[in-house]
Structure formats: structure tokens, C-alpha cells
Amino acid sequence: MFKTLSRGLLAAAFLALPLAAPAAAAQHAAPLPLAEAVDLLPSGVESRDGYQRTSFKHWVDADRDGCSTRMEVLIAESRTEPTVEAGCKVTAGMWFSYYDGVTLTAPGGLDIDHMVPLAEAWDSGASAWTAARREAYANDLDAERSLVAVTARTNRSKSDQDPADWTPPLADARCTYTADWVATKLRWQLAVDDRERGALTELAAGCGQETVDYEPAP
């Protein structure tokens, strides 16, 4: 089940086939200091050859309960009881976009962001996955860090950029964002290139006691 209560509480106050994956990354571990988690990320050279967004089938109804992935996230992340109409259409609620610190009550202003964008996942190893695994990645409701409801403008500003080129405009969100990014890449064993690793290392150095916890994807 999709779990986002801990993200909601945080907001109220504030992976792919690796080329060389450390053995420790293949096992679930207790929360790790962010800098140590960055060190576990497999290294690789990114390539976007052959990428199409349609390679990742998303917003499916994987559990066949009548709600698409987008609606599941909206329901789970609303900080009040959401209004859900026929056909599992979410029409109202209260969402905190932690990238920019904005609270919204209308879902139309929200995008569901893939923490590690689909294009970035492709670059980092998902190009070698089966279509079924790419679909599982694009609709990952089993890890609260994988998908997040944020304002459409911040999601579109981020686009397919990694942390070397984009971090949230709200400075207080950047350590959480870095931890979420690293956790997602570790969960799916997605690689990082040298520039991305450098940016993550620099961000982690300024994040004090931030930790990373993740479960490897099935």
C-alpha cells in the first residue's frame, strides 16, 4: 500500500541495472546517513538513446480498485479527508507541495512528480528493463519517496533534470529532496554519473543528520 503519512507530517513542520553496484545496496538496511547512502549509489554513464515517455506506462490502476496511480497519490497525500467522486475522481482536499512550501486545495494545480524522472531513470539503467518493470517503476505506490504531489509549476520547472541542475526552490526542502532522490535510486538500483554524484555529495555535506531508508524494489 502507498504510505505517505510520514511525508505529510514532515511537510506540516517542513532502482535499472547498475554497472557496478555495491553489495550493501542490494539489501535493506537501517537508515543510513545521507552521505553514506550517496556512496552506495552505483556509477554509470547515462544515455538517453531510444527514450520515449511511452516506454513507461503510468497512471494505471494496478490493484484494480478503480483508482489510478495519480488518484491514489492525491488521496494518500491529502492532509484532510479528500472529496472523491464517482469513478475515483478526487475533486478537493488539502495538499502541501514541499518543493515550494505551497498549500493547495484544488487538485488541478498539482502534478504527481516521479522523484527520479522517467527520462532520468531511462538514462540511468531503466532502458535495459522489461516493459513490466518500467510500468512498476512509473506507478510505484509501495515507497512514499517515489511519487509526490507538488505544484505543477515546480514539477515542470524540474522537468527531467537531476540534482546537478535542479533542486527545490524552497531551501528548507533540499535535504529532504536529496534524501528522497537517493532513496529512489537505491530502491531501483539506478546509476549516477560523475556530475550527479558530485552534486549529491555536495548537497549531503550540508544536510547534517538527514538519513535515507529504502526497500529494494521487487
**pTM for this prediction:** 0.87
Domain assignment present for 218: no
- Whether the predicted pLDDT of 47 surpasses 80: yes
CA–CA separation, 75 vs 16, rounded Å?
Answer: 29
Domain assignment present for 198: yes
- Which grid coordinates are listed for 165? 541542475
Domain assignment present for 205: yes
Q: 74 lies in which domain range?
A: 5-210
Name the least confident of 20-29, 110-119, 147-156, 170-179: 20-29
Give the total number of structural domains in the chain: 1
Q: Could you read off the pLDDT of 110-143 as tens digits, one per residue? A: 999 999 999 999 999 999 999 999 999 999 999 9
Domain assignment present for 216: no
Contact criterion met (CB below 8 Å) for 22 and 36: no
Q: Could you read off the pLDDT of 172-185 as tens digits, one per residue? A: 999 999 999 999 99
Domain assignment present for 217: no
